[in-house]
Structure 1
Amino acid sequence: MSHITLIRHGQANTNARDEAEYDRLSDLGHQQAAWLGDHLRATGSHHPRCFCGTLTRHIETARGMAVGDAIRDERLNELEYFTLSQLLQEQHGVDIPQEREGFITHLPKVFTAWESDALEGAPESFRAFETRVSDALREISEGSGAALVVTSGGLIAIALRRLMELNMPATARVALAIMNTSMHRLFPIGAHLSPVLFNAVPHLETPERQFAQTHF
């Protein structure tokens, strides 16, 4: 079993109000990806395999890191948060926040409604999402050599939920904490993967780069 380093994509379009608008990196997102790639090379990090989702922000992040050709796997794509939010508003009257701080209370409501199958017409069920994430990461871990996986914050949070048996409120807090281009390492201990690194951004810790420690 090989270890996996999950990486959240760089900052995307923060002014987006739907899935299509969100799915591209901002100028800062491109810079974050380049800095992370530079850090990995400077520290001699060896990852013979690289994977990413098929979303534009995943592909742009992997390309900006310049760590080699990434194998694209749609199972590593993010949940459709904007779509789920629209369904929650239409079916349960929960307004979509207009400011970033509003998502602190909004995201747990979306996740809870989705998990309990309370969103009619969701693009995929919560259980289907969990299953595809688990299947993809299991297959990657069974390969030879350490792997980088460029994906999204929601997917990383759900992966940690499965590994750590987190309840939904805790999962939501994890999702809210995850920064752009942060690293999260899953290491084989016994017969299972276990988290040994969470939300690391060493490439953004110098004083002149701390402004780039973004969540949205």
Structure 2
Amino acid sequence: MTHITLIRHGQANTHATTAEDYDRLSDLGQQQAVWLGEYLRATKAEFDHVWAGDMSRHRATARGMGHEAPQIDARLNEFDYFTIARLAELEKDLPAPQSSEEFARNIPQLMEFWRDDAFPDAPERFADFEDRAQGAVDDILSTGGRALVVTSGGLISMVLRQVLRLDIPEMTRLMFLLRNSSLTEIEYVHGHLMLSVYNAVPHLAAPERVFAQTYI
């Protein structure tokens, strides 16, 4: 059986307005990663392979968990939400969200515009994002065993879209709910990928750590 544990990175720079500014862990994000690593070691979780995206927040999360040299794969990187959101505002009059409530309302429309190739100047087509997510998962599966993968919420949501055959609204609802440093697990069983765990944060379950259950 092949098992993949997908980790969303720790909390990043929540006040960022560009992809570059966002790509660093906050102090809390660093602590979330440390707590997650401690939890996995305490529960004797073992992995045959450790992967991470090529972004600073992915590498820092892996290091905080105790993995200094994960296998880096840029296909596990997040899509450029900030650029696509600016294009949607300029070209489709879709205002950039100013709150989590606005983000929840706007992200399905944004993703549908992107899926339909409404932004010729987008840094990446939706279909290409979909293909690289699928390709990365296929290659990880081909290695067999148990894999730990540190990545981002958009990539995890895309993988869930493929595993669960989700349309955009359902995909974006899962994306919106993903906590920082959460675990989502998929397994390859009898020729099929199946979701076994979604968005778990057991390392943040103690009352004194509930404050650390962040989404952005």
Q: TM-score, normalised by structure 2?
A: 0.97
1:98 is displaced (CA, Å) by 2.1
Equivalent residue number for residue 119 of structure 1: 119
Counterpart of 2:52? Answer: 52
How far 1:68 moved relative to its partner? 4.8
1:32 corresponds to: 32
Question: Which consecutive segments of 4 or more residues in structure 1 shift more than 6 A?
Answer: none
- The aligned residue for residue 172 of structure 1 is 172
Alignment of 1:18-167 (within 5 A): 18-167=18-167
Gap runs ≥5 in structure 2 = none
Query: Between the two proteins, what is the percent identity of the paired residues?
Result: 46
CA–CA separation in structure 2 for the residues paired with 1:79 and 1:195: 22
Match of 2:214 in 1: 214
Task: Give 1:103 shift.
Answer: 0.8
Where do 5+ consecutive residues of structure 1 fail to align? none
Q: In the alignment, is the contact (CA less than 8 A) between 2:2 and 2:189 conserved in 1?
A: no
Instruction: Spell out, residue by residue over 1:140-179, the C-alpha distance to the aligned partner (whole angstroms, 9 max, x if none).
Output: 0110320100000000001000111111110110100110
Q: Does 1:14 align with 2:11?
A: no
- The aligned counterpart of 1:196 is 196
Q: 1:13, 1:25 within 8 Å by CA — same for their partners in 2?
A: yes
| Contact 1:87/1:120, CA 8 A, preserved across alignment | no
Distance in 1 (alpha carbons) for counterparts of 2:212 and 2:138: 32
Q: Structure 1 counterpart of 2:32, which letter?
A: Q
How far off is 1:48 after superposition? Answer: 2.1
Number of aligned positions between the proteins: 216
Q: SS of 1:3's equivalent?
A: strand
Moved more, 127-136 or 60-69: 60-69
Residue type of the partner of 1:71?
A: Q
Q: Deviations over 1:8-62 (max 9, x none)?
A: 0000000000101000000000000000000000000001210000000000000
Residue aligning to 1:5: 5
Question: Residue 120 of structure 1: CA displacement?
Answer: 2.1
* Rounded Cα–Cα distance in structure 2 between residues aligned with 1:144 and 1:69: 19
